[in-house]
A and B are shown apart, each in its own frame.
Chain A
Amino acid sequence: MNSSTKEEGQMKTKEILETKSSRRAFMKKLSIAAAAGSAGLVTGGCVSLESSEEMGLKWEEYFKKNYRLMTQEEKDETVARLERLFKLQHNENVQISNQEPQENVLFGYAFNISRCKGYMDCVEACVQENNLDRKAKTQYIRIFEMEPGQLDPTSGDGKYHHEVPVENKFYMGVQCYHCENAPCTKACPTKATWREPDGIIVVDYDWCIGCRYCLAACPYWGRRFNWGEPEVAEEEITKKQHYLGNRMRMKGVMEKCTFCIQRTRQGKLPACAEACPTGSRVFGNLLDPNSEIRYVLKHKKVFRFKEELGTDPKFWYFID
């Protein structure tokens, strides 16, 4: 890192930090020393590789609250710290949003099983958009190739690797269904995962302790765990991020589809729906009577997966 960018960076954090009380400043000084010690223990003594500023930021990050308990000011502070940390570690700028849900919005999704041809452009777009771990080949979306006479993806083939579409087969996409009565949020011992007012089930990655009880509780296999440190090539990182969405995850935490919260809260479509070449994916506001999703729910034959569990998913399948 060259010295001018570093100086500029220090100025920026100084600005952020000086807006706070002197207690904070004292805590920071204290924390740098303490962090140097503890970080040394953890990383096996490569303290010199990390600047003291970085360790100070990490230390403050360690003691922050659950996202839902933060005031708007605290949310802005943590976002500033995370952006700064990314700059220090990768010498690149990211924008991490903490945009709140919009009023009178409840997101819903519908998937047209007569149209999908199994091209998996949605999977690719999702991996790109959400900075999914390339090393572990994490995917939020999976497409199952189905035989006629079935409607249950568990009987389909989720690992097909051949040219599509195949004669006399159809395709079903699965992902997190953002259940209204979600078993995963109920299971979490630390309230690190919850349902936002616009219906999106999110994870506070920094609050998750990695017990994986939510993963065991999910009847749809909608959650993914970071077993190792996730890896995304620097040039492939999506820079427009959301705190509860596609910001970089760390090892030992749970993650999942967030309906592309960083896009959909700005009125865009999720990456999967935008990428779909066949128009099989319909996304919209369930509370808007003129939305396409409402049209589908009203005029098409729709069904949901494992309806008998009473999870009330916000994801429907439909037939043309």
Chain B
Amino acid sequence: MTTNPQKGISAFVSDCMRWALSGGIGFKIYLVALLTVIGVGAFAYIKQFQEGLIITGMSDIVSWGLYISNFTFFVGVAAAAVMLIVPAYILKDKDLHEVVIIGECVAVGALIMCLMFITMDMGGPFKVWHMMPIIGLFNWPSSILTWDVLVLNGYLALNSLVPLYILYCNYHNRAPVGWKYKPFVFLSIFWAVSIHMTTAFLYQGLPARPFWNNPLLGPRFLASAFAAGPAVIMMVLIVIKQKTQYPVDIQIFFKLKRIIVVSAIINLLMLFSEIFKEFYTFTHHSLSAQYLFFGLDGHDSLVPWIWTAIGLNILGTLLFSFDPTKCNPRYLMVAAISLFTGIWIEKGFGLIIPGFIPSPMGEVVDYSPTTNEILITLGVLATGILVVTLLIKPALAILIKFKKATA
């Protein structure tokens, strides 16, 4: 397949590794910092592995905590890619086509975080083979969790293999052959929607938890993801624009901003709809929402978090909607961080924890993560950031090289 025998796979791999790791002193410090956080997280995980999940803040009442909250949120971030893929490949948008690869790298990083969070949360991580099709016993189609395993791994494969093929062609100064990858691009669009809906169905399908058992959960999950995901991509693009030679056109920011504004407004509308339903006619099923927004029986550990989240949500939406600076990167960075953090708290903590409170037996307890749990979570986040960095660097190097060669 290769035109030049000196190139091929081994040259591609070694060049990519070189590009991934090369950089100035600032980049080296950044890498060491990430590796330190990962190391501390790994150490914390060994402790959890030996002693069991008892060293987390979880209990039989709040049986999922920080890990599953973050898992849920980052499934949303993984969707970010699709908001670039649709305009780039379907609407043939030239600007967004330039950065679609960055969206895909972010998706891969987010998915790796998701899979790690799931593993960290397991009581028996060595028994994970029990859940694999064929060698284990896969409770498909009955268990939504098995669907989630399929869609997440499938999405990871799609989002790794398509860019890999395109970059591999570009590396050899060839344009990729459309029919070889386009079908997978179309597939990945539907697949992105499916990872959201399936993850939402994990919760939505449980009548035991009225807070989750709500048909708006899935759609709202999509809307928030389509706001938070592109916000992450925007943050990455701003960093790329300022730290590398890769050209990021101002038009890209305009277009991303438009996507974010529409999604964020739909998200807020649905949030309002949910709040209305919970509080206009207060039923027994509204107790979780009561706990989340106002506290219940003297327990109110989530109240400051959720109001901060809603504040940041509204602030981010307003900043994106009325941008007097016409896409000044600093301004956009503030707006993106604000919206991203707001949705992170709300779609993570604010979605998972109240589902367990009050318990089906009416008990109200507070959950707060332990230090060990937070360290593991930070370790996973650092791993995700590292993966994204190490993917984007060689990808951009190849794209720049290809542009020069074809110019």
Interface residues of A (CB under 8 A from B): 42, 44, 62, 66, 69, 136, 142, 144, 153-156, 158, 174, 183, 186-192, 207-213, 215-221, 223-229, 251-254, 309
B52 touching A215, Cβ below 8 Å: no
- How close is A197's CB to chain B, nearest CB, in angstroms? 18
| B59: chain A residues within 8 A (beta carbon) | 227
Q: Is the CB of B143 within 8 A of A188?
A: yes
Residues of A within 8 A of B143 (CB): 186-189, 213
A-B contact pairs, 14 of them (CB 8 A): A62-B126, A69-B137, A154-B360, A187-B143, A187-B144, A188-B143, A191-B137, A192-B137, A216-B356, A224-B60, A227-B52, A227-B60, A253-B123, A309-B208
Count of interface residues, chain B, beta-carbon cutoff 8 Å: 48
User: Contact between A225 and B206 (Cβ–Cβ < 8 Å)?
Assistant: no
How distant is the Cα of A69 from the Cα of B359 in the complex, in angstroms? 34
- Residues in B with CB closer than 8 Å to A211 are 118, 121-123, 145
A-contacting residues, B117-155, CB 8 Å: 118, 121-128, 130-131, 136-139, 142-146, 149
Cβ contact of A158, chosen from B124, B207, B361, cutoff 8 A: B361
CB-based contact B146/A189 at 8 Å: yes
CB atoms of B360 and A221 under 8 A apart: yes
For the complex of A and B, the 3 pairs showing the least CB-CB separation, nearest first, are A210-B123, A252-B123, A154-B362
> B208 near A158 (CB under 8 angstroms)?
no
Interfacial chain B residues near A183, Cβ < 8 Å? 206-208
Interface residues of B in 142-197 (CB under 8 A from A): 142-146, 149
- In the complex, chain A residues whose CB is within 8 Å of the CB of B359: 221
Expressed in whole angstroms, the minimum distance between the Cβ of A315 and any Cβ of chain B is 14
Whether A66 pairs with B124 at a CB distance below 8 angstroms is no
Task: State which of B123, B149, B202, B208 has its C-beta within 8 Å of the C-beta of A226.
Answer: B123
Nearest residue (CB) in A for B53 is A227
Question: Is B325 positioned at the interface, with any CB of A under 8 Å from its CB?
Answer: no
- A209: contacting residue among B127, B208, B361, B362, CB under 8 A: B127
Query: Which residue from A42, A155, A174, A216 sits with its C-beta under 8 Å from B208?
Result: A216
Which chain A residues border B121 with CB–CB below 8 Å? Answer: 211-212
B358 and A154 form a contact (CB under 8 A): yes
Whether A225 pairs with B60 at a CB distance below 8 angstroms is yes
Chain A hits for B208, CB < 8 A: 183, 216-220, 309
- Report if B363 contacts A (CB, 8 A): yes
Instruction: State which of A189, A220, A221 has its C-beta within 8 Å of the C-beta of B138.
Output: A189
Of the residues B54, B136, B362, contact of A228 by C-beta under 8 Å: B54
Closest-by-CB residue of A relative to B126 is A62
A209 close to B130 (CB less than 8 A) = yes
With the chains together, A309 CA to B58 CA distance in Å? 27
Residues of chain A lying within 8 A (CB to CB) of residue B10: none
Given contacts A211-B121, A212-B123, A219-B208, contact A191 B52 (CB under 8 A): no
